[in-house]
Structure 1
Amino acid sequence: MTAATDPGQAVADAHRREWALVLAATVRVARDLDLAEECVQEAYAAALSAWKGDGIPRNPAAWLTTAAKRRAMDTIRRERTLRSKLPLLVQAAEAVDEPALDEPDKQKDGEAVDPEDGVPDERLRLIFICCHPALAREAQLALTLRLVCGLPTPDVARALLVSEQTMAARITRAKKKISAARIPYRVPRPAELPDRLAVVLGVLHLLFSAGHTAPSGPTLMRTDLADRALHLARTLRELMPDEPEVRGLLALLLVTDARRATRTGAGGRLLRLEEQDRSLWDRTALAEAHELIVAGLRGGRAGRYLLQAAIASLYAEAPTYEETDWPQIVALYDRLLPLWPSPVVALNRTVPVSMTHGPEVALKQVEALEEDGRLARYQYLPAIKADLLQRLGRTEEAAIAYRQALELTDNEAERAFLTTRLTHQETGLRE
């Protein structure tokens, strides 16, 4: 990747790629999420000014981390009411060597600062901290996606299918709960990790999903988020190699990401699965995923991520879209739903159902999910409904459903795709 030469672009790139790493390192000094977030924001603002005069440092992340930590330490020193935290500050300062502002950080991305704590990545460390059992699962997911993964609050809201206002309030309550309950900013002990694993896996899955198809923005994908999720999933597997669902999640991300290069065409146009050039899929990633899936299925009862990986693998193994083993995919969904009774899973199941039993059967299932109401903010429900209606020749109803999907969609590549489909339906109505 070519380094940015414009200071403004360099700051923007560092914000997109390094926010989570800088925040995770700053929390270790600040011991307070709000203070850490404020100091990191100030560090980015200072970088914009400093880099214009002094030039872009060789390691922007190291510069930002040092600047944010120093702001946190200065704030703590100034606040007499926080004197009780000074011993922690001194302890943290002694444990971490501060890099010079104009020098690269000695720590490479992903390496452990404190190997004895057992979590060899700053960001994964903070994810485990934010996923404290004292917080509700929804709060754990929201807080981690917003702070550690750097997703904007509107995108976190879309990922969790709630309103932006609800999500902002949820994040605020989670921060207050951490402060009021005096939840420690320390890495959980090895014996505590399994209790937090389910939420951590959920965070990494949602992070990857936000990269695989960006909730908003001009491009279909945010590859920086997808790459970050893959890196953290690999790190987690190194940390917990015997956990079947860790292997399952990594397999799911690998088999899904293997199609990355073929998901868009000229001008960033979205390509559906049946349009993609399968010869360009990443065969190394697919082979690695296959090994993980086979080993997991042999190991006993499959969990939700392993079953999702097996479903994605069946899509990938088919020579063509039409030759996909649809009945087997439906069977796997029937195993997945009791483990994960999610309306999103039920909606995804309607796609292979439509190929196995016909679009009319699938449409009834989609309409039942629509009446349920839990997917009212989920743009893929009306999009799938529109496709089924189109296949049934119900053009006017399909056009209405495409309009509903457009109202819920903020990703420009998906909007362009839906607009094309809608135009096709409207043209058919006029003819």
Structure 2
Amino acid sequence: MTREIEDLLRAEAPQVLGALVRRFGRFDIAEDAVQEALLAATRIWPADGVPDNPRSWLIRVAYRRMVDLLRADQARRRRELDAGTAELAMARPDRAAQTRATDDSLTLLLLCCHPVLGHTSQVALTLRAVGGLTTAEIAHAYGTSEATMGTRISRAKQQLAKAGARFTLPTGADRDSRIAAVLQVLYLVFNEGYTASAGTDLTRVDLTGEAIRLTRLLHATVPDEAEVTGLLALMLLTESRRAARTDAGELIPLAQQDITQWDREMIEEGTALIDAVWNHGPAGPYRIQAAIAATHAAATKTGRTDWPQIAMLYLWLERLTPTPPVQLARVVAVAHAHGPARGLALLDDLNRHHHLDSNPLTRQREHAVRAHLLQQTGDNTGAAELFRRAAEMTGNQVEQRYLNDKADRLD
């Protein structure tokens, strides 16, 4: 399958799903029907060519499969299906759906991030329903089996059905909380793609690209939401460094990257976005992170990184979201700005209060940060030991090689 067909299918998936859900009101079954239509397209289009109206083709195939699925579900659900109406719908696809692309995509994003679902289920359902990824692709991205991920997605759809979730745009406080959930899901997808939790590659471009595409879509739908703009800016500014992060498959830390390889077009777009919304009310976490990324990107013009500014921004961010990743990032920034001794002192203080060194979710990162700081203070033996311990705790082979190589060099 060509890249053009793959991109087209991912763009059309939410619109086809929206057409089916609007007519039949059954997200759980409609999503399965759309996936089968997408799979049919991957088999047929490369050989026969893309049809003149690919959306109508997909809707027609998905409608047929929807009819079959509803008939099979009829006894359990006690629902009657008017086959004649369905055939008419297949013959004349919902033309109005073709002019409601943005609304459908936003509604689907908000539906997939319904509060009855956990974060993992929200991510998986978003990638399936709005991103157009197959269950196998999502499972591979998150290091689990296709069967396990399929079960998780099925349960998520059942939860939505039990909760009575409807294919309508929420309003008021519910809308705001749902958008916040969507932002968090897209942020999680991007982070998993930027540094994969497992596998042979440092990054997963399919996930970072999909996160950026969906965030662009959300931004186009709600352009006045400053935090949405901030998240898009953050993704672009961060992704701009991807080409410089590895060399021959080996990790290159930020301080050693060739900044001439950073994508200037992404930097300019991301910087313009964050500049445009920075003063739109109190800055939230995505705008602050985008400002940090923009400060890093400014090094392409100034030749130096303003670490004191970055340390101050991380302190601001920590007050808003005192999470372990933010706390450890502030340690790194403080060490760059004020020396490794200050960084170690801050890390020790955080461990006393938050136990980052013993938390299974943060221990690997804490060991890696401490190892770097110990190396800078001249404690090569302690640094080598921690580099090896950190390497044992990561499932990403590129990161693992980098940490073990650091330990070997110190030994």
C-alpha separation in 1, matches of 2:286 and 2:84: 40
Is 1:25 the counterpart of 2:25 in the alignment?
no
User: What amino acid is aligned across from residue 404 of structure 1 in structure 2?
Assistant: R
From 85, 89, 113, the counterpart of 2:97 = 113
Alpha-carbon displacement from aligned partner over 1:202-254 (angstroms, at most 9, x marks no partner)? 11212222222233333322222222222222222221111111111111112
Structure 2: give runs of 5+ residues left out of the alignment. Answer: none
- Give 1:77's match in structure 2, choosing from 71, 74, 94: 71
The equivalent residue for 1:404 is: 389
1-structure distance, mates of 2:110, 2:87: 19
Match among 106, 113, 133 for residue 131 of structure 1: 113
Give the partner amino acid of 1:55. A
Alignment of 1:4-403 (within 5 A): 14=6, 18=9, 22=13, 25-26=16-17, 29=20, 32=26, 35-36=29-30, 38-39=32-33, 55=47, 57-58=49-50, 67-81=61-75, 82-84=77-79, 86=81, 94=89, 113-116=97-100, 120=102, 123-135=105-117, 140-141=122-123, 143-144=125-126, 148-149=130-131, 150=133, 152-153=138-139, 155-156=141-142, 174-184=156-166, 186-189=167-170, 193-265=175-247, 267-318=248-299, 323-366=304-347, 368=351, 369-371=354-356, 373-374=358-359, 376=361, 379-403=364-388
Aligned partners of 2:15 and 2:97 also within 8 Å: no
CA distance in 2, matches of 1:88, 1:396: 74
**What amino acid maps onto 1:78 in structure 2?**
A
- Work out the CA distance in 2 between the residues paired with 1:306 and 1:92: 49
Q: Is the 8 A contact 2:231 2:286 kept in 1?
A: yes
Report the alpha carbon displacement of residue 309 of structure 1 after superposing the two structures with TM: 0.5
In 2, Cα distance between the equivalents of 1:74 and 1:172? Answer: 18
Q: Is the 8 A contact 1:379 1:409 kept in 2?
A: yes
Provide TM-score, normalisation by structure 1.
Answer: 0.74
SS of 2:408 mapped into structure 1: helix
Residue type at the aligned position of 1:259: R
Task: Say if 1:393 and 1:22 are closer, same or farther in 2 by CA, change over 3 A.
Answer: same
SS at match of 2:335: helix
CA contact 1:23–1:36 (8 Å) conserved in 2 = no
Report the alpha carbon displacement of residue 326 of structure 1 after superposing the two structures with TM: 1.3
Match of residue 161 from structure 1: none
Q: Do 1:370 and 1:376's aligned partners in 2 also have CA atoms closer than 8 Å?
A: no
* Equivalent-residue separation in structure 2 for 1:315 and 1:89 (angstroms): 61
Q: Report if aligned partners of 2:189, 2:207 keep a CA contact under 8 Å in 1.
A: yes
CA distance in 1, matches of 2:87, 2:97: 11
Bigger mean CA deviation after superposition, 69-78 or 139-148 = 139-148
**Residue 377 and residue 73 in structure 1: after superposition, are their counterparts in 2 closer, same or farther (change >3 A)?**
farther
Q: Percent identity?
A: 36
CA contact (8 A) 1:21 1:123 kept: no
Contact 1:350–1:366 (8 Å) recurs in 2: yes
- In the alignment, the residues of structure 2 paired with residue 365 and residue 167 of structure 1 have an alpha-carbon distance, to the nearest angstrom, of 40
Maintained 8 Å contact 1:157/1:167: no
Count of residue correspondences = 395
Q: What CA distance in whole angstroms lies between the structure 2 residues aligned with 1:201 and 1:91?
A: 36
How far did residue 74 of structure 1 move?
A: 0.8
Q: TM-score, normalised by structure 2?
A: 0.78
AA partner of residue 113 (structure 1): A
Give, in angstroms, the shift of residue 173 of structure 1: 5.5
CA contact (8 A) 1:76 1:83 kept: no
Alpha carbons 1:237, 1:246 under 8 Å: kept: yes
| 5+ long unaligned stretches in structure 1 | 5-9, 100-106, 159-163
Counterpart-to-counterpart distance in 2, 1:90 and 1:413: 55
Could you tell which deviates more after superposition, 194-203 or 390-399? Answer: 390-399
1:387 deviation in Å?
1.6
- How far apart in 2 are the matches of 1:175 and 1:208? 23
d(CA) in 2 for partners of 1:373 and 1:67? 53
User: Is the CA contact 1:251–1:289 (under 8 Å) kept in the aligned structure 2?
Assistant: yes
Q: In 2 relative to 1, CA 89–344 (structure 1 residues): closer, same or farther, beyond 3 Å?
A: farther
Q: CA deviation at 1:127?
A: 1.7
**Root-mean-square deviation over aligned CA pairs:** 4.2
8 Å Cα contact 1:263-1:270 kept in structure 2: yes
Between the aligned partners of 1:89 and 1:381, the Cα distance in structure 2 is: 63
> What displacement does 1:95 show?
8.8
